[in-house]
């Protein structure tokens, strides 16, 4: 089966991405998840992997943001909403989507390092692809104001510079 990998704008890809994300994380089941009530940022770009019958098999959101690390501004990239349809898993699609997202962030001159959040059962997936834990404190906005964000674990990837693994990272906005 052939596939097509496309990078689209966040807005353009949102409806199809939403459909896939709702399949993977059904809205009715979100209450059961520790992070089910988190308000997430909208992706700036999206990696969409489509099969030749037009099915959106896999998605990864790409984010760019100026955050602060230990009080200093730094422009970073991010990945979120990585999901593969259950019936299309273990074919390497998420690995390809991640690779495409990292390429895109590397091409974005100003992104110094990358950040994502994930659940413990996915640590190995990312760790074996070069991501490592950020063990400092992360702060992010939520509708009620700024909070220490601990709903999921942060992982970082070196891009233009070595990613910090300690210190205080303020997302200066919603998490992704
Ligand atoms: C996590 C998730 C995105 C992985 O998607 P995927 O498309 O199955 O991922 P891949 O196929 O690229 O890789 C998954 C594993 O299958 C293996 N694999 C890839 N192609 C394979 C193949 N043809 N045959 C057997 N195994 C294969 C990979 O080696 C990888 O194992 P590894 O981590 O030990 O290296 C998917 O399971 C998912 O959507 N889960 C629910 C949502 C979620 O948790 N998202 C992550 C949010 S951070």
Could you give all domains of the chain from N- to C-terminal order, each with its CATH number? Answer: 3-170 (3.40.630.30)
* pLDDT 10s digits, 104-162: 999 987 899 999 999 999 999 999 999 999 999 999 999 999 999 999 999 999 999 99
pLDDT surpassing 90 at residue 1: no
Q: In the block, which residue shows the tokens 């909403």?
A: 81
CA of 90 to the centre of ligand 1 (A): 5
To the nearest 10°, report the CA torsion of 20, 6, 102, 35: -10
Cβ atoms of 176 and 117 closer than 8 Å? yes
Rg from Cα positions in the chain = 16
Query: In a mutational test of the pocket of ligand 1, which residue from 78, 84, 176 has the highest number of ligand atoms less than 8 Å from its CB?
Result: 84
The response to whether residue 51 sits with its C-beta less than 6 Å from ligand 1 reads: no
């Amino acid at each position: 089966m052939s596939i097509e990998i496309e990078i689209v704008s966040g807005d353009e890809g949102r409806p199809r991405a939403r459909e896939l994300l709702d399949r993977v994380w059904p809205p009715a089941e979100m209450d059961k998840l520790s992070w089910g009530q988190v308000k997430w940022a909208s992706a700036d770009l999206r990696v969409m992997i489509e099969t030749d019958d037009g099915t959106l098999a896999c998605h990864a959101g790409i984010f760019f943001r100026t955050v602060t690390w230990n009080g200093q501004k730094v422009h970073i990239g991010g990945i979120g909403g990585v999901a593969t349809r259950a019936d299309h898993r273990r074919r390497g699609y998420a690995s390809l989507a991640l690779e495409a997202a990292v390429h895109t962030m590397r091409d974005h001159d100003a992104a110094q390092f990358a950040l994502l959040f994930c659940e413990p059962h996915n640590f190995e997936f990312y760790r074996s692809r070069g991501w490592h834990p950020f063990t400092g404190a992360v702060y992010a906005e939520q509708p009620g104001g700024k909070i220490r964000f601990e709903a999921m674990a942060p992982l970082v990837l070196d891009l233009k510079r070595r990613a910090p693994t300690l210190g205080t990272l303020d997302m200066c906005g919603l998490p992704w």
